[in-house]
A and B are shown apart, each in its own frame.
Chain A
């Protein structure tokens, strides 16, 4: 049987669901029985599109120019990656902070009618003329996709004119997926196709690919590298803050792992198939349990099971008295969590370290990977609501208002206006991960819970845009079966 090539669209995986309202117990059982159905929302709020993730994944690469083949509006969210790139340089001690070289082709009315090829050619020529980059990534958009620009063919023809720069088209048209993490896959598929090209290279003893998205802080990078070095590994930290040279080194690794559950997970499978690189795909290393699990996962792949147990024991000895202090402050508090796939499940495991109780979880996708986490969470927490949603703040505020949690973990904007103490496990500028990140995070949660004055006063002065009647209704009333 011929191998089925993964398209990069996460919906193509059987059993994956993006729109669902349920409980932990119910969803676990229904998934096991194969009863979860693909659904949609007849009313929804805006999503994050996959093009945002494709751009964000790569925009800190040193020797590259990034071309968005789109109207100007499609690079709005690039500011998040641009900001991380700038701040990341400051954290790494760079004095003359640079902008990433992002060029938008600025498709307009004329391009919609006559095609955008001339603009794409002009952008590539400008990029080469200005920077002679080693790499040019070309990101597609809804507009370029619908008007039918053949970006692959245009890049192919330009590649012949400019042999010194590698042109890498990335197919991340927003309309192709509801799951923004598809954009990561689109980027990695192109990296394999255009840069690595299935060519095996000599292995480097002890080298580990550590895949990290743009949202991982430098403090977290150092903690992850510290942990892997304790196992005697050399780390190839990619693609955040890396280079063509480091990407080319990927096939030389002895093993791969990722910091985020939905970042490079599909790519690591490909690396195993194409370059015989085993990998560990577990959880995000946030909290004791998850950090242990993540650490053991990669240690097993490189045959360091014994060593890792010694280190974990040592780290626990160091960290547990400190965690206990935090647990004393947080024990029994009821928590609602909203986040991306990796962070939401990691936060759910984290709160167990602190003896907190999960009462609601909002996460973008449900699939066999989520099932493993839910089975684990059902073993700890007796009853919690689950909302499979990419944000959808209208459902979130309905649930938070109903469940009245003691604490909310996630994007604080809406829960704060309901007066609930809020905190976040996504901080690309400060520590979150590993054993040291845990303490920073725990203290942050405990401090914010103890001192909720800002949110309480804010709630007294601020009103969310929803009608009072909405809070009385079923939060999942707009979820309809048989959607996209």
Chain B
């Protein structure tokens, strides 16, 4: 199900798959699709997420069968076969994944029989049969993990009770993904854990193959990944916990640490020592700049994960006043919406803000334009700058799509990220 949408944020299901594959070291996507899909699906996510792109293969580096009229009419499996062979011959990858675009999906090319020809020879070529029109980037993230669970992750891996897998943060879709994963890794490592982020530290397909050895899957998202997490648990025996939103700042990051510690039954003394040290680090800075930021009544337009993180930090830890939070990614299930609303509205002292689910830019602009309460700070995407300029509201470019700043390892996540977030909000006007 997809809605007519003005200024959509993100791409099709292929874009989400491509984002994940592009973030894994030495993995090569192969497109069985129309001629523009490699570029379109890279531009929709990697191209609008702080200007970093997969350095292995992305956009016009991705092998593609470039289906033209001839393939539309007569089928494109022969072209796919030579494309896969060429990719294997020249691209030095550890695994190849064949993606199907709308064209291949509609004409019904049988890609599995083609990939089987290669996998039977022991070459790691995997099919992913989900045409672009099946959904958006978020679905692509779940689709690729379902593929890994079905075809890639090994079943007989010895358990390691200190190993955890991180899910829920979509690389090249969340602009701060790599910095966020690095901060999460940094925090959890202090608890004595080994962390599979999958997309940092040069982790590759081998990490994915062996990730069934983990003691816990940690899903950091208020709504994504329910299906794959349950499937993972059922097939591979790894339980999961859901962290119902990105954590920004001391309060929520400490809550995250305690949730993980409790799920793994970690040594309490160590956990409390880490929390104390990290919180002191944060407050050591905050106490050096008291009153430097003027008081704000703020609105957020973002994906659910970051909207929760931004709102809860600014409201709970920084005593700003939340007015309006707009979740700008498509979310269809009511139970997911309820979980998101609860996280945003269940605040310590602040009055709960209004929460809206709007993906259409016209409707987003309208909601902000017509908001009766004053807003003095808007955290949003490049698409949301227009309404901030129109209403003369201070604007922080903090969510996807983000085409006007370069993001390497910057993050607003965790203990340290909250300091960066606060730095960015400073305004000398």
Contact = CB atoms under 8 A, between A and B. Distances in A.
A71 B403 contact: no
A45 B62 contact: yes
B92 A466 contact: yes
A72 B11 contact: yes
Interface string B1-22: 1111111101111110000000
A76 interface: yes
Contacts of B86: 42-44, 478
Interface string A101-129: 11111111111100000010011001000
Interface in B57-83: 57, 59-72, 79, 82-83
A97 B385 contact: yes
A175 B42 contact: no
Nearest to A73: B12
B72 A146 contact: yes
Contacts of A45: 38, 60-64
Contacts of A49: 34-37, 39-40
Contacts of A126: 4, 6, 362
A101 B15 CA distance: 22
| Residue of A80, A96, A176 with most chain B CB atoms under a 10 A cut-off | A96
Interface in B67-112: 67-72, 79, 82-83, 85-87, 89-93, 101-103, 105-107
Interface string B393-426: 0000000010110000000000000000000000
A484 interface: yes
Contacts of A52: 36, 39-40
A77 B40 contact: yes
Contacts of B13: 73
Contacts of A160: none
Contacts of A176: 68-69
> Which residue among B37, B40, B103 has the maximum number of chain A CB atoms within 10 Å of its CB?
B40
Contact of A104 (B8, B70, B106): B8
Contact of B132 (A46, A73, A82, A465): A73
Interface in B357-389: 361-362, 382-383, 385-386, 389
Nearest to B13: A73
A394 interface: yes
Interface string A71-105: 11111110110110010000000011111011111
Contacts of A101: 6-7
A130 interface: yes
A174 interface: yes
B133 interface: yes
B35 A46 contact: yes
Given A77-B43, A112-B133, A465 B93 contact: yes
B68 A72 contact: no
A46 B31 contact: yes
A339 B39 CA distance: 16
Interface string A30-74: 000000000000111111111110000000000000000001111
Contact of B5 (A48, A106, A143): A106
B390 to A, nearest CB: 6
B4 A103 contact: yes
Contacts of B266: none
A469 to B, nearest CB: 8
A46 B60 contact: yes
Contact of A75 (B8, B63, B85, B89): B8
B56 interface: yes
A71 B44 CA distance: 12
Contacts of A106: 2-5, 8
B224 interface: no
Residue in B66, B91, B133 whose Cβ sees the most chain A Cβ within 10 Å:
B133
A466 to B, nearest CB: 6
A327 interface: no
A112 B102 CA distance: 9
A141 B34 CA distance: 10
The residue among B55, B60, B82 with the most chain A CB atoms within 10 A of its own CB is B60
B197 interface: no
Contacts of A180: 36
A106 B2 CA distance: 6
A46 B14 CA distance: 14
Interface residues of B, number: 81
Most chain A beta-carbon neighbours within 10 Å: one of B2, B31, B62, B85: B2
Contacts of B5: 72, 103-104, 106
B82 A42 contact: yes
A452 interface: no
B28 interface: yes
A43 B85 contact: yes
Contacts of A48: 35-36, 39, 60
Contacts of B385: 97
A392 B57 CA distance: 12
Given A43-B83, A73-B44, A108-B2, A96 B390 contact: yes
B36 A47 contact: yes
A263 B3 CA distance: 34
Contacts of B12: 71-74
Contacts of A244: none
Contacts of A71: 2, 12, 102, 132-133
Nearest to B90: A470
B136 interface: yes
A20 B6 CA distance: 41
Contact of B11 (A76, A95, A110, A470): A76
Contacts of B403: 79, 82-83
A393 B91 CA distance: 12
A76 B41 contact: yes
Contact of A77 (B4, B39, B79): B39
B134 interface: yes
Contacts of B390: 96
A142 B42 contact: no
B48 interface: yes
Contacts of A391: 60
B66 A47 contact: yes
A467 interface: yes
Contacts of B72: 142, 146, 175
Contact of B103 (A51, A86, A142): A142
Contacts of B89: 43, 467, 470
Contact of A73 (B41, B68, B70): B41
A99 B133 contact: no
Contact of B386 (A80, A97, A470): A97
Of listed B44, B107, B382, residue having the most chain A CB within 10 A: B44
A101 B136 CA distance: 20
A322 interface: no
Nearest to A53: B36
Given A71-B102, A74-B12, A175-B68, 15 more contacts: A44-B66, A44-B83, A46-B35, A48-B39, A72-B44, A73-B11, A73-B40, A73-B132, A80-B43, A96-B386, A104-B4, A106-B3, A112-B102, A119-B4, A394-B91
8 contacts: A71-B102, A73-B13, A75-B44, A77-B39, A79-B44, A106-B4, A176-B68, A466-B92
Interface of A: 42-52, 71-77, 79-80, 82-83, 86, 95-99, 101-112, 119, 122-123, 126, 130, 141-143, 146-147, 174-178, 180, 391-394, 414, 462, 465-470, 478, 484
